[in-house]
Amino acid sequence: MIEEIYRTTFEEVRRAAGTVLHEPADRDAVVHEVYLELLSSRELRESHRGGQMGSWLGAIARHQALDFARRESRLTDLSAVDEVSAKSDPVADLRRELVRFAEKLDPERQRLVQLRYIEGMTQMEAAAILGKPRSTLEDWEHQFKRALQAHLAGRKGAQNDNGRKVPQ
């Protein structure tokens, strides 16, 4: 029963938490907490008085996200919640970084990055185009993600070394 609720409401709840918390780890931690509480608290389940389950859980997620942001000081301006930042799109930033990073890879792996993360193909589709077993692409992606993580961490370290304030 609760698994079915999770299945049908997950996106709405995640979106609601994401309007407050732009950091994926924070957003997903709050989403996790909302469903964990739904699982463990009969009181919470009984407090649902009808209506759309997704909207109700979304409101709870947003409320918890605001609490989380205040508690963890992750937002400096709560009135800015829901405003879409015109200055920065982290996904677009990541795409640009991906393209730069992929230039260091061999041509097949470059093509994989292009197909999977720029053109949005599934592993099966990319495997068919590259003429490789899907399991090979799985391995490549695993290696690639670790290398990308190290690359991004290195860039951040370099930026910090260039005089940016390092968060404590």
Partner 1 sequence: MGAHFSGQSSTRADRRLFHHLKTCDACREEYRTYAMLESLEADGAERARVRMGRGLFEPAPKRVFVGGGLALACACMALVFSLGRTHDFTPRGRVHDGDAPMPALGIYRVPHEGAVPTVEDTQRAGNVVHTSESLAFTYVNPPAIGASYLMIFARDAAGRVYWFYPAWTDGSQDPASLPIPANGAPIELPEAVRHSLQPGSLTIVGLFTPKPLHVHEVEAAVANGLDGLQAFPGHVWTETVEVAP
Binding site for partner 1 (CB under 8 A): 2-3, 6-7, 10-11, 14, 23-26, 28-29, 31-33, 35-36, 39-40, 72, 90-91, 94-95, 98, 116-118, 120-122, 125, 142, 145-146, 148-149, 152-153, 156, 167
Q: At closest approach, how far in Å is the CB of 25 from partner 1? A: 4
Angle, helices 53-72 vs 24-40, to 10°: value is 120
- Distance between CA atoms of residues 104 and 43, nearest Å: 54
Taking the least distance from each CB to partner 1, the nearer of 9 and 62 is 9
Taking the least distance from each CB to partner 1, the nearer of 3 and 77 is 3
Residue 3 is encoded by which pair of tokens?
């698994």
CA angle, 58 then 63 then 64, to 5°: 95
Taking the least distance from each CB to partner 1, the nearer of 66 and 79 is 66
35, 41, 85, 108, 121 from 95: Cα distances, Å: 31, 40, 17, 18, 15
Q: At closest approach, how far in Å is the CB of 38 from partner 1? A: 9
